[in-house]
Amino acid sequence: MSDDQATVSNEAVSMSLGEEFPDIREAVRRICEDFPPEYWRQVDEREGYPTEFVEALTNAGFLAALIPEEYGGAGLPLRAAAAILEEVNASGGTANVCHAQMYIMGTLLRHGSDAQKRKYLPEIASGNIRLQAFGVTEPTTGSDTTQLKTRAVRKGDKYVINGQKVWTSRALHSDLMLLIARTTPIEEVKKRVDGLSTFIVDIRASLGKGLDIRPLKAMTNHNTTEVFFNDLEIPAENLIGEEGKGFRYILDGMNAERVLTSYQGVGNARWLIKTAVNYAKERIVFGRQIGKNQGIQFPIAKAHVETEAAALMARKAAALFEAGRPCGAEANMAKLLAAEASWNAAEAAMQTHGGFGFAREYHVERKWREARLGRIAPVSTNLILAFVAEHVLGLPRSY
Ligand SMILES: Cc1cc2nc3c(=O)[nH]c(=O)nc-3n(C[C@H](O)[C@H](O)[C@H](O)COP(=O)(O)OP(=O)(O)OC[C@H]3O[C@@H](n4cnc5c(N)ncnc54)[C@H](O)[C@@H]3O)c2cc1C
């Protein structure tokens, strides 16, 4: 199914309005109680990886939510996975540390061979190996993904990979990487989306043998890296699906990614709003609660309204996705709304806390930094607006 179809047929897709997956949410909240905001502050300060948290989530089966039961997973729908990530963020943590496993999975699930699924999925479900790295973005081509320069050339029973990725999150904390590379030069394809292929790269087997990974220090603790491929040889059997169709496979997964990150944005916003409200009630200045001032109330209330709207759109996108219907428009709109709601909630929380918003022990500055990312990655708001303008409104392509 094409992801950029903007219209849906009139056939009904139902969507419940009650709390989604309350039992799962409650179980995730209980796990998160063992990892309070103070835990996340310490991980952030040492720019570490929250191994204990990821293990707890894995052991409870939540990171295998989308893996079918026959491969040892829970076989849950996308909304359940999204609810898990939302709750992590709503607890003051950050689901970014492990969310990729959920959306990368889709490419392997939908387009991988039986042999690949049998080889990797049970190991991922059990937590023996992590699939947390997704190599798409490149330094010279950025959002213009089809222009990416990393090449994979077939030589007998191997592919030889040369090129560079940037911002590959968690590559140093993952066993496998999903990689997109060009297998047919762009001059030789009819459409620029053709000739790109997706591969599973075994990071453990490749480090030092043509694969070099260097940490890229960033504003938030996202364990980002630069990845260099220098004549890296990988088995041809690591190609996912058909050669040359990788961009379509990735696009398939992008709607799932948009839905999941929308729920995460909503979770972020909920934590920030709750924290701002509590502080606004407690803090007394000029002999009264600061929350009595409309200048404090209104930005928080507005962020709440925006968060509810984002949650509704995210739920719609998820319902369409699960029904196997086109959801590119809804997934993109949800992503934009959630990113804006999360950022506005962060701004409201920061302003409400005044100087203490800067104090790390209040956790607001950390969530504020994390909230800013949603407007840039995994897709920037401009690119979403360009998509809506062109594919939903029928305006001329702007780039
Ligand atoms: C912390 C972090 C983690 C990340 N993790 C990953 C990861 O795991 N894997 C991965 O592959 N990538 C990852 N990324 C990369 C991320 O997906 C990109 O940064 C993002 O897609 C934007 O690409 P760019 O940075 O190259 O910006 P550019 O494409 O250079 O764009 C720069 C600015 O120009 C705007 N712009 C560009 N073209 C247009 C246009 N036609 N119309 C209007 N505006 C335009 C963009 O909206 C943006 O604001 C991560 C990034 C960050 C910061």
pLDDT number for residue 4: 39
Dist CA 140 CA 148 (whole Å): 8
How many residues in total does the chain contain?
A: 399
**CATH class, range 22-130:** mainly alpha
CA-atom Rg of the chain in angstroms? 21
User: Does ligand 1 lie within 6 Å of residue 98's CB atom?
Assistant: no
399 residues of the chain, pLDDT tens digit each: 344 333 445 568 888 889 999 999 999 999 999 999 999 999 999 999 999 999 999 999 999 999 999 999 999 999 999 999 999 999 999 999 999 888 888 899 999 999 999 999 999 999 999 999 999 999 999 999 999 999 999 999 999 999 999 999 999 999 999 999 999 999 999 999 999 999 999 999 999 999 999 999 999 999 999 999 999 999 999 999 999 999 999 987 899 999 999 999 999 999 999 999 999 999 999 999 999 999 999 999 999 999 999 999 999 999 999 999 999 999 999 999 999 999 999 999 999 999 999 999 999 999 999 999 999 999 999 999 999 999 999 999 998
User: Does ligand 1 lie within 6 Å of residue 385's CB atom?
Assistant: no
Q: Whose CA is nearest to atom 28 of ligand 1?
A: 142
pLDDT number for residue 9: 52
Strands 176-182 and 131-135: parallel
User: Does ligand 1 lie within 6 Å of residue 386's CB atom?
Assistant: yes
Q: pTM to 2 decimals?
A: 0.95
Q: What 3 state SS string does the chain have?
A: CCCCCCCCCCCCCCCCCCCCCHHHHHHHHHHHHCCCHHHHHHHHHCCCCCHHHHHHHHHCCHHHCCCCHHHCCCCCCHHHHHHHHHHHHHCCCCHHHCCHHHHHHHHHHHHCCHHHHHHHHHHHHHCCCCEEEEECCCCCCCCCHHHCCCEEEEECCEEEEEEEEECCCCHHHCCEEEEEEECCCHHHCCCCCCCEEEEEEEHHHHECCCEEEEECCCCCCCCCEEEEEEEEEEEHHHEECCCCEHHHHHHHHHHHHHHHHHHHHHHHHHHHHHHHHHHHHHCEECCEEHHHCHHHHHHHHHHHHHHHHHHHHHHHHHHHHHCCCCCHHHHHHHHHHHHHHHHHHHHHHHHHHHHHHHCHHHCHHHHHHHHHHCCCCCCCHHHHHHHHHHHHCCCCCCC
Candidate of 44, 138, 143 to mutate for ligand 1, largest count of ligand atoms within 8 Å of Cβ = 143
Distance 255 CA to ligand 1 centre (A): 17
Task: Tell me which residue of 362, 259, 358, 269 sits closest to 307, measured CA to CA.
Answer: 269
pLDDT number for residue 185: 97
Question: What's the first-to-final CA gap in the chain, in angstroms?
Answer: 24
338-350 burial code (b ≥16 CB/10 A, e <16): bbbbbbbbbbbbb
Dist CA 301 CA 323 (whole Å): 33
Residues 6+ apart with CB under 8 A from 274: none
Is-catalytic flag, 87? Answer: no
Tokens of 45: 């300060």
User: Does ligand 1 lie within 6 Å of residue 379's CB atom?
Assistant: yes
Dist CA 180 CA 316 (whole Å): 29
User: Does ligand 1 lie within 6 Å of residue 166's CB atom?
Assistant: no
Residues of the chain within CATH 1.20.140.10 domain(s) are 248-392
Q: Determine whether 365 is exposed, middle or buried from the number of CB atoms within 10 Å of its CB (0-12, 13-18, 19+).
A: buried
Active-site annotation holder among 243, 257, 365, 370: 257
Residues of the chain within CATH 1.10.540.10 domain(s) are 22-130
pLDDT number for residue 103: 83
CATH number for the domain formed by residue range(s) 133-245: 2.40.110.10
**CATH class, range 248-392:** mainly alpha
Dist CA 11 CA 104 (whole Å): 29
Candidate of 369, 376, 390 to mutate for ligand 1, largest count of ligand atoms within 8 Å of Cβ = 376
